[in-house]
Amino acid sequence: MEPFDSFLIWIAEFLGEHLYEGIFLAALIETIIPPIPTLAIFPTAGFLASQQGIPLIGVIPMIILGAIGATIGTSAIYLIALKLGRVVLLRYLCYLKISEKKLARVEVWFEKYGDKAVFFGRMVPVMREMISVPAGLLKMKIPKFVMFTFAGSCVWSTGTILSGYYFSESIGLGTTTLP
């Protein structure tokens, strides 16, 4: 078994025992270390919530904790971009195959769509983590960044967690125990 697969199994087991804490940690870590797929973890958490008999109202804290975790994690990336600046970041972004030309295009795009880019960017895989870089480089106001990040993360958390929650019910598992 590959290390990444082992890590995903560990996360699923952790979620089974610590659903609310697991959602927060997964969202926090995913924004800082992008290979962790919340697109897989959040629906799994919703599925487990349904299996554990958690009512729909009990899913709301999961959604909020997921959004808070993502907001904290992505704010760290924002602050790094804000403090280090363009020149230093370019030195490291080259390892991700992001050239100065690509970064310049992203900055122009961000200047045009800033607030909307942060809000909607939190709902798009890969862009979820990367939208913090131009926001920090272009010195988007911190309260505005946090507000749009949290709002977009709430939408993402709601959609992905509820998809797992309702999937469990739609396949007739309801609150029964899995074999």
Q: Is residue 22 part of a domain?
A: yes
In this prediction the pTM is 0.81
Q: Is residue 177 part of a domain?
A: no
The DSSP output letter for 8 is H
Q: How many domains does the chain have?
A: 1
pLDDT for 135-160, tens place per residue?
998 889 999 999 999 999 999 999 99
Q: Is residue 178 part of a domain?
A: no
pLDDT in the model for residue 12: 72
Q: Which residues contact 129 (CB under 8 A, 6 or more apart)?
A: 30, 31, 34, 74, 77
Whether the per-residue pLDDT at 62 is higher than 90: the answer is yes
Domain that holds residue 138: 3-170
Burial 41-71 (b: 16+ CB within 10 A, else e): bbbbbbbbbbbeebeeeebeebbbbbbbbbb
pLDDT in the model for residue 178: 44
Task: Find where tokens 């050239």 sit.
Answer: 99
pLDDT for 70-100, tens place per residue?
999 999 989 988 888 877 777 777 666 777 7
Single-letter code of the amino acid located at 19: L
Q: Is residue 176 part of a domain?
A: no
Residue ranges of alpha helices (H) inside the chain are 3-17, 19-32, 38-51, 56-93, 100-121, 127-130, 132-137, 142-170
Q: Is residue 175 part of a domain?
A: no
Residues 44 and 165 sit within 8 Å (Cβ to Cβ) = no
Q: Is residue 149 part of a domain?
A: yes
Q: Is residue 11 part of a domain?
A: yes
